[in-house]
Chain A
C-alpha cells in the first residue's frame, strides 16, 4: 500500500519535522492541536489542523479513542506517532489496526515485549546478547545470596518494587554483602511495602551509548551507527552526539552489530533504538530498546545523510529499506543540543513567557528543529523543550566549535532558556576531551556557573533605559534646564 494521507499524532518540533518529510514525499498531511496551544511551526506546515479536546492538553494527546476517530474521520491511511505520547503504546497500535489505519512503527507485540523491562532483558539474554550480570531474588530465594555473590563487586542492590533510587545500596566487598542485603530489605519494606530484592553489577562512571536500527519487518535490519548520550541531567539527555568519542572502530562495529542482532531477533519493523550502558573497561550491556524515533535522531541523519522519517514511511508503506548496510556511511561528526525553557541558575525551574523575538542560527552545517514561532507563548502545559539545535562538522572539534557559535547566535528573547548552560558544557575541558559519563553534569555542575562580568551591568543598564520608549519620550518633554539637572532633586 502507499500512504496518501498521514496524521501526525504529536505536536511541537517533532510534528513539524515529520510533516516536512511527508510533504516532500507528496503525502497529504494533518496534525493535532489542543485549543490551549498557540501557533507552532507544525500548524503552518500541515495541510490540515484537527482540534482535539481533553481535561488537560496532555490528556488530549493521550486519548486513543479520540485520535483513532480523528484518523478515520479525516481519511488518514497512516498515523505517525512521533516520540512520547502514544508512540510506544501497544493499545494504540491495536486500535489503529482494528480501524484499518497503518501505524508508522513496529507491531504491538514488539512494543509490548520491549516495554516490559524484565521480559525484554530476559529475551535479549536468552539469545546470547550481553546484559549486565544480575541476580533476581524471586527466581530462587534460597540461593539469592550465593547468586548475588557470583555477580561480582562492586554490585548494586535494588528493591524489586523500587524506583527513583530509593533503597539502592552499592556493595564493594563481600564482607558487607549480607548486612547490606538485610538493610536494603528493611528499606524496601519501609518505602514500598515489599522486601524482595535484586542485585546487578554496578558500573562506575558509565556512558550511555545507543544504536539506531531500522528493520523492514521481513527479517532485514540495518543499523545507522551509534549515538552517545551521556550528557544527562536527572536521567534526561540534553546533549547527544555521533560518533561516540569513546569507541574504537572495532568496538563501534561490535556494539552496532549487537544492536542490529537484537532487532533481527524480534524481526523488527520500523525505526528503533537499542540503548546500552557502556563501562570504562569497554564492556557494554543491553539496557532497553525504544520502539520509536528518538528525540536525538537528527545527529544520525547528519552523519549518514539519510532521512530517517522517509525510511519509516517507506517501511510503513511496505516499500522496505532503501539501503543496505554497506551504503550507510558515518561522515564527520554531529552534535545536538536540546533547547529548553528553564532557568539553569535557579535549579532548572521551568520558565514560561511570551517569545518576543526569535532569530534562529543559520550557516554551514547548522540545522534547527523548532517547535516555536516568533510571537508564540511558552506555557507549562507540555515538556519544556522548545527546539533542537543540530550541527555537523568534519570532525568533533569542528562540530563543537559550530555548536558553540550557533548556540551563541540563537536569539530567543522573552523566555529564559538553557542556551548559556549548554554552551558552558560544550566549553568544559572534560567535554572537549570526550571524558564524560552519565554522572558528568552532577559532578561538574559547579564548574558551569559563570562569574558575572561587571562590564555587562553598564551595557545592559544603558541598553535598557535607552530602549525604554516611555522614559526617552518623557525626557524629550522635560524643559532644557531640568534636563541638564537630570531632574534630580534633593
Chain B
C-alpha cells in the first residue's frame, strides 16, 4: 500500500505493510515498526514508533494530513500513486501535461511539431514502479517534450506541451 507524501517540501515515497506483529512503515531501505492508538479528545492519538510514544493531534483532508505534535503543526501532502497515475492524462490544463509525482520517462512517441489526435499515446512514464501511458487530451500540435527516455522528472514538472489552441474567429 503505497503513498507519496510531501514532507517539508520533499517527496517521500513510503509504503505500509502489515505483519502479525503489526504495521511496518517502509521508507527507502528502512523498515520502521509503528502503531497509532486513539486517545481522549478530538483527533487525539498516540503514535508508537521505535519504542517511543508520541502524543499528537491529527486531522485528515482529501489530499493532506495535518499533524500537531511537540508544539508544532505540520501539513503532509498525500498522494495515492495508483490514483494519481490514472488522472495524469486528464489534467486540468489542456495545453500541458504535468507529472503527478516524480518518476522516470520510459519512452517518448512524439516530437515537437507532430500532429496528434485526442487519445493518441504520447509518452510512457514510470513512477513508484507503476507504468502509465500519457495520452493526448485533445487534437493538436506537439510544442515541447522536455524529457527524453531515461530522464527522471520531479513532481509537477511539465512532461509535454501542446501548441495553444487558436481562437475561433
Chain A residues close to B by CB (< 8 Å): 354, 356-357, 359, 374, 407-409, 411-414, 416-417, 419-420, 423, 452, 456-472, 474-476, 478, 483-490
Contact = CB atoms under 8 A, between A and B. Distances in A.
29 contacts: A356-B61, A357-B68, A359-B42, A408-B71, A408-B72, A411-B73, A413-B43, A413-B57, A413-B59, A413-B68, A413-B73, A416-B75, A456-B74, A457-B12, A459-B47, A459-B54, A461-B25, A463-B56, A465-B1, A466-B34, A466-B36, A470-B80, A471-B16, A475-B18, A475-B23, A476-B18, A486-B16, A486-B17, A488-B15
Given A452-B8, A464-B76, A464-B78, A475 B45 contact: no
Nearest to B50: A458
Contact of B47 (A354, A416, A462, A475): A462
Given A465-B25, A466-B23, A359 B16 contact: no
Interface string B62-75: 00011111111111
A356 B59 contact: yes
A142 to B, nearest CB: 60
B68 A487 contact: no
Given A411-B68, A468-B65, A359 B3 contact: no
B7 interface: yes
A461 to B, nearest CB: 5
B14 interface: yes
Contact of A464 (B5, B15, B72): B5
A417 B19 CA distance: 38
A463 B7 contact: no
B16 A475 contact: yes
A208 B125 CA distance: 58
A467 B14 contact: no
A469 B38 CA distance: 13
Given A459-B49, A460-B7, A483 B17 contact: yes
Given A461-B7, A465-B14, A414 B59 contact: yes
B152 interface: no
A213 B155 CA distance: 56
B56 to A, nearest CB: 6
A464 B1 contact: no
B66 A356 contact: yes
A118 to B, nearest CB: 45
A471 B1 contact: yes
B35 interface: yes
Contacts of B57: 357, 359, 411, 413
A353 to B, nearest CB: 8
Interface centre among A414, A423, A476, A485 (most CB of B within 10 A): A414
A420 B72 contact: yes
A464 B67 CA distance: 8
A467 B10 CA distance: 20
A466 B60 contact: no
A483 B43 CA distance: 28
Contacts of B1: 465, 471, 474-475, 478, 487
* 7 nearest A-B pairs in the assembled complex, by CB-CB distance: A408-B71, A486-B17, A356-B59, A413-B66, A466-B36, A413-B59, A357-B59
Contact of B25 (A412, A456, A462, A484): A462
B17 A487 contact: yes
B19 A464 contact: no
B58 interface: yes
B42 A467 contact: no
Contacts of B32: 458, 462
Contact of A357 (B14, B26, B66, B75): B66
Given A359-B42, A409-B71, A420-B72, A461 B5 contact: yes
Contact of A458 (B45, B49, B67): B49
A460 B24 contact: no
A461 B3 CA distance: 10
Contacts of B17: 475, 483-487
Contact of B67 (A409, A463, A478, A483): A463
Contacts of A354: 61
A460 B72 CA distance: 12
Nearest to B71: A408
B73 A467 contact: no
B117 to A, nearest CB: 33
Contacts of A412: 73
B149 interface: no
B111 interface: no
A402 to B, nearest CB: 14
A446 B159 CA distance: 35
Q: Tell me which of A407, A463, A476, A488 has the highest count of chain B C-beta atoms within 10 A of its own C-beta.
A: A463
Given A463-B67, A468-B3, A484-B17, 19 more contacts: A357-B68, A359-B41, A413-B58, A414-B59, A417-B73, A420-B72, A457-B8, A457-B12, A457-B27, A462-B25, A463-B69, A464-B78, A465-B5, A467-B60, A467-B65, A468-B65, A471-B80, A478-B18, A483-B18
